[in-house]
């Protein structure tokens, strides 16, 4: 079915496809009673940080005492109920999205935060959603194959802002809701997203000229802290990049009338976000970190964090790249980056879809070889992801850092013929660590030495 739809997309004229997508958006909104008209809706877009920013913003908005909902790559949230996004889609399809918005209305939510992707915008999934505010995180060259060029990618993102600015004012509970755009002063492309028609433009960042600026930044292994004005903030998600994500949430919630001090209290109570720089701890003497990062810019920032916490230990990186024709050019770049930043790179399956899993692995590994990695020493190709994780924890020494990237908290792996098999990097890591501990205990009882597991084995995907 996926292949048929892709063929249809290629054969039909663009105008026909656009009309089809608009029609579906209209039908979905009508079917569910135009729920976005009964919510204050904030769209979050950009290349990286959308999910974390959306989640932190949903939590920050709760500081005003109202229920919130959000849709992100990682999870869905309606009030106090959160559940994993198992759709493999950053932005849900029109009908699912409108249904989620209606559920938010039914359960008494005031705010809805919608992570809005460029692919979703191309398919007009944002149509018939009455956005009130837009947040821009950052822009890096990504999804170029889907859009044709970086400029086309940027234009797709900008359509969200143009759409929002063109909407009539919304009256919510007798109050006129202003149209607000919130932009990252740190990003060189942010100026391109200044669109006429907004009532207010708010800049956030760590550089001069930001309206909501962070100072006194302290990065810890378990999170970051900083100050905005006179108010201290703590976010329990590691990595300096989380400062920008949190600032976006602070700036937006504050622009919607929530006091800064209450936002600070709420964010400090958030323990983290699933699959985003998430630690897996089974008592082992080395770190295991699961993160969704799957493209070069996000991986660079994750490696920056790993470098700051590694001490004298090594970085062991389990990586791969998605199939399905998704930005094939980045595969070599990922391999190069991993070989350059990690001490050991283990290339494995991520989400091959209908592509040859080994071919994807070989393309990523090629980048590692170009960067100087040595096969069997600092570079390993292990198709089965479980065995790749076993290999990583099996060779880890005290003080090392194992990074498992590309999937985060995703509950499935997309394989051939449209199948999705159950998968969770965090559970796989726990299993591998428990096996390692059991093997070590057994070896000690037997008076022998622990042996590292075999580097590969039969793959479930072969």
Considering the domain architecture, whether residues 248 and 378 belong to the same structural domain is answered as no
Does residue 92 lie in a domain region?
yes
For residue 213, list its beta bridge partners: 205
Considering the domain architecture, whether residues 218 and 315 belong to the same structural domain is answered as no
Does residue 218 lie in a domain region?
yes
Considering the domain architecture, whether residues 112 and 208 belong to the same structural domain is answered as yes
Give the number of domains in the chain.
2
Q: Which of 45, 121, 91, 136 is nearest to 101 (CA)?
A: 91
Considering the domain architecture, whether residues 225 and 303 belong to the same structural domain is answered as no
Does residue 456 lie in a domain region?
no
Considering the domain architecture, whether residues 173 and 287 belong to the same structural domain is answered as no
Q: What are phi and psi of 124, to 5 degrees?
A: 60, 30
Domain end position, chosen among 228, 248, 268: 268
CB 378 within 8 A of CB 344: yes
- Is the alpha carbon torsion for 281, 284, 287, 293 positive or negative? negative
Half-sphere exposure of 283 (CA within 13 A, CB side): 6
pLDDT at 146: 74
Considering the domain architecture, whether residues 248 and 316 belong to the same structural domain is answered as no
- Is the alpha carbon torsion for 248, 231, 303, 70 positive or negative? negative
Considering the domain architecture, whether residues 307 and 368 belong to the same structural domain is answered as yes
Q: Tell me the pTM.
A: 0.91
Domain end position, chosen among 235, 268, 301: 268
Considering the domain architecture, whether residues 155 and 82 belong to the same structural domain is answered as yes
pLDDT tens for the chain, 462 residues: list them.
Answer: 445 545 555 666 667 777 888 889 999 999 999 999 999 999 999 999 999 999 999 999 999 999 999 999 999 999 999 999 999 999 999 999 999 999 999 999 999 999 999 999 989 999 999 999 999 999 998 777 677 799 999 999 999 999 999 999 999 888 899 999 999 999 999 999 999 999 999 999 999 999 999 999 999 999 999 999 999 999 999 999 999 999 999 999 999 999 999 999 999 999 999 999 999 999 999 999 999 999 999 999 999 999 999 999 999 999 999 998 777 889 999 999 999 999 999 999 999 999 999 999 999 999 999 999 999 999 999 999 999 999 999 999 999 999 999 999 999 999 999 999 999 999 999 999 999 988 877 666 666 554 454 444 433 333
Q: What is the CATH number of the domain that holds 302?
A: 3.90.190.20
Range of the domain at 332: 278-445
- H/E stretch holding 223 reads strand 223-228
Does residue 26 lie in a domain region?
yes
Considering the domain architecture, whether residues 7 and 148 belong to the same structural domain is answered as yes
pLDDT at 14: 67
Domain end position, chosen among 268, 289, 322: 268
Q: In angstroms, what CA-CA distances link 148 with 151, 162, 322?
A: 8, 21, 19
pLDDT at 317: 99
Q: What is the CATH number of the domain that holds 189?
A: 3.40.1190.10
- Is the alpha carbon torsion for 274, 310, 387, 352 positive or negative? positive
Q: Which of 55, 16, 14 is nearest to 276 (CA)?
A: 55
Does residue 118 lie in a domain region?
yes
Does residue 450 lie in a domain region?
no
Considering the domain architecture, whether residues 434 and 377 belong to the same structural domain is answered as yes
Considering the domain architecture, whether residues 251 and 282 belong to the same structural domain is answered as no
Please list the alpha-helical segments (H only) found in 85-149: 94-106, 118-122, 144-147
pLDDT at 457: 41
Considering the domain architecture, whether residues 171 and 299 belong to the same structural domain is answered as no
Does residue 373 lie in a domain region?
yes
Angle at which helix 50-61 crosses helix 241-255, to 10 degrees, equals 40
Does residue 461 lie in a domain region?
no
């Amino acid at each position: 079915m996926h292949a048929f739809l892709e063929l249809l997309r290629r054969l039909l004229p663009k105008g026909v496809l656009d009309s089809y997508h608009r029609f579906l958006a209209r039908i979905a909104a009508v079917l569910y009673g135009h729920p976005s008209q009964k919510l204050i809706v904030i769209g979050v877009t950009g290349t990286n940080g959308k999910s974390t920013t959306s989640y932190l913003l949903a939590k920050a908005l709760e500081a005003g005492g109202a229920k919130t909902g959000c849709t992100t790559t990682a999870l869905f949230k309606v009030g106090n109920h959160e559940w994993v996004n198992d759709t493999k889609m950053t932005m849900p399809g029109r009908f699912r999205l409108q249904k989620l918005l209606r559920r938010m209305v039914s359960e008494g939510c005031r705010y809805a935060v919608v992570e809005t992707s460029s692919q979703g915008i191309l398919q007009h999934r944002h149509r018939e959603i009455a956005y009130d505010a837009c947040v821009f995180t950052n822009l890096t060259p990504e999804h170029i194959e889907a859009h044709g060029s970086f400029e086309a990618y940027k234009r797709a993102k900008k359509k969200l802002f143009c759409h929002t600015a063109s909407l009539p004012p919304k009256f919510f509970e007798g109050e006129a809701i202003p149209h607000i755009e919130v932009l990252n002063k740190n990003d060189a492309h942010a100026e391109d997203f200044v669109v006429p028609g907004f009532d207010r433009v708010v800049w956030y960042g760590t550089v001069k000229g930001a309206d909501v600026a962070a100072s006194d930044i302290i990065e810890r292994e378990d999170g970051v802290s900083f100050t905005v004005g006179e108010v201290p903030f703590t976010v329990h998600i590691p990595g300096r990049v989380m400062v920008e994500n949190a600032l976006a949430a602070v700036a937006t919630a504050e622009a919607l009338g929530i006091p800064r001090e209450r936002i600070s209290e709420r964010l400090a109570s958030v323990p983290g976000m699933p699959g985003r720089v998430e630690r897996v701890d089974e008592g082992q003497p080395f770190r295991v970190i699961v993160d969704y990062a799957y493209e070069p810019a996000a991986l660079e920032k994750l490696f920056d964090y790993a470098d700051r916490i590694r001490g004298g230990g090594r970085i062991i990186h389990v990586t791969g790249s998605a199939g399905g024709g998704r930005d094939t050019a980045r595969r070599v770049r990922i391999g190069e980056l991993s070989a350059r930043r990690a001490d050991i790179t283990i290339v494995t399956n991520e989400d091959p879809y209908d592509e040859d899993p080994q071919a994807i692995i070989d393309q990523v590994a090629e980048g590692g070889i170009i960067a100087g990695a040595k096969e069997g020493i600092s570079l390993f190709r292990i198709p089965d992801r479980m065995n790749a994780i076993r290999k990583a924890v099996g060779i880890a020494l005290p003080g090392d850092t194992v990074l498992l990237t590309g999937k985060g908290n995703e509950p499935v792996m997309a394989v051939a013929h449209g199948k999705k098999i159950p998968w969770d990097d965090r559970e796989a890591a726990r299993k591998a660590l428990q096996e390692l501990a059991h093997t070590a205990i057994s070896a000690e009882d037997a008076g022998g030495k622990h042996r590292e597991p075999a580097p590969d084995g039969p793959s479930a995907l072969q």
